[in-house]
Amino acid sequence: MSVAEWQLIGFSLRMALASLLLVLPPGLALAWWLAKYNWRGKSIIETLVTLPLVLPPVVTGLVLLELFGRHGPIGGWLHRAFGLEVVFTWRAVVLALAAMSLPLLVRAARTAFAEVDARYEQLARTLGAGEWRIFFTITLPLARRGVVAGILLAFARSLGEFGATIMVAGNIPGQTMTLPLAIYQAVQADDEAHAWLLAGVSAIIAFTAVFASEQLQGRRA
């Protein structure tokens, strides 16, 4: 493979990783909140979180474009306050991948947290532990397989994301072009060999992630 191809793979992996880091803290917090508490309007939050999973990715991209554009409510503020450009930069790639992988992470982690027997958390409470300590020493360790499986799924989803990315980040070689976008580009340019090579790389990465995720979930004894 050429240097450009390696760079493309490296860029795609870095973007997926960055989106994972962005999504992990709020995703786990949200999953924990959904798993352990009942409150009014909970189902609305659940629906909103799941929405990117069922909406056409292009629609999610369009919403992000509107929110994070230079004249959008969030993008405008970021531009004025920090001089940050989001749309059509690598930041938009991370944002699109994060939005698209959040539902997978939250749903997997929520199930895993809910499966942790509340007796252990209650007992930790009688031993003087606060909620943070309980989360990190009891809930998260006992839910780790499910959480890691969710992380791998989210990562794999990020690597395959196309529709939202192209809407909000465009397809700028060397700046916002990820693996799926490059495959699309290659097919458009009639470079089928290149497209198949990249498709093969994508398949290997995706297979590895899903296989690892299945192994982790299956091993839960």
Partner 1 sequence: MNATRLIATFVRTFPGGPEIGVDNLCLGDGVTVLFGASGSGKTTILRCLAGLDRPDQGQIQFAGSAWFDGARRFSLPAPRRDVGYVPQDYALFPHLTVAGNVGYGLFALPAAEKTARVAETLDWLGLTDLGARLPHMLSGGQQQRVALARAVVRRPQLLLLDEPLAALDTPTRLHLRAELRQWLRHLAIPTVLVTHDRFEALALGDTVVVMQAGRNVQQGVVHEVFSRPVNRAVAELTAVETIQPGRLVELRDGLAVVAVGGQQLLALPGAGLSVSGEVYVCIRAEDVILTRGGPGAATASARNRLAVTVQGLQREGPQVRVNLEGAFPLTALLTQAACAELALHPGDFLIALVKTPQVHLIPW
Is position 127 an interface residue for partner 1 (rule: CB under 8 A)?
A: yes
Q: Which is nearer to partner 1, 129 or 212 (CB)?
A: 129
Least separation in angstroms between residue 124's CB and partner 1 is: 7
In this structure, are residues 201 and 207 in contact, taking their beta carbons and an 8 Å threshold? Answer: no
Residue 220 engages partner 1 in binding (rule: CB under 8 A): no
Closer to partner 1 by CB, 129 or 197: give it. 129
Nearest to 160 by CA among 218, 152, 216, 147: 152
Residue number, 134 or 182, with CB nearest to partner 1: 134
Residue 112: CB minimum distance to partner 1, A:
14
Residue 114 binds partner 1, judged by CB under 8 A? no
Is 83 a binder of partner 1 (CB under 8 A)? no
Answer for the pair 136, 29: CB distance below 8 angstroms, yes or no: no
Does 141 bind partner 1 (CB under 8 A)? Our answer is yes
Spatial neighbors of 200 by CB under 8 A, at least 6 apart, are: none
Q: Does 125 bind partner 1 (CB under 8 A)?
A: yes
Binding of partner 1 by 148 (CB under 8 A): no
152 and 21 Cβ atoms separated by less than 8 Å: no
Under rule CB under 8 A, residue 192 binds partner 1: no
Question: Binding of partner 1 at residue 71 (CB under 8 A)?
Answer: no
CA dist., res. 111 & res. 100, Å (int): 19
Which member of 130, 132, 174, 193 binds partner 1 (CB under 8 A)?
A: 130
Distances (CA, A) of 160 to 140, 142, 183, 190, 203: 28, 30, 11, 21, 9
Please tell me whether residue 123 binds partner 1 under the rule CB under 8 A.
Answer: yes
Torsional class of 83: left (φ above 0), alpha (ψ -120 to 50), beta (otherwise): left
Between CA 90 and CA 163 the distance in angstroms is 15
Cβ contact 142:120 at 8 Å: yes
Does 133 engage in binding with partner 1 (CB under 8 A)?
A: yes
Question: Should residue 137 be labelled a site residue for partner 1 when binding is judged by CB under 8 A?
Answer: yes
Q: How far apart are the first and last CA of the chain?
A: 42
Closer by beta carbon to partner 1, 29 or else 123: 123
Which positions touch partner 1 (CB under 8 A)? 117, 119-120, 122-130, 133, 137-138, 141-142
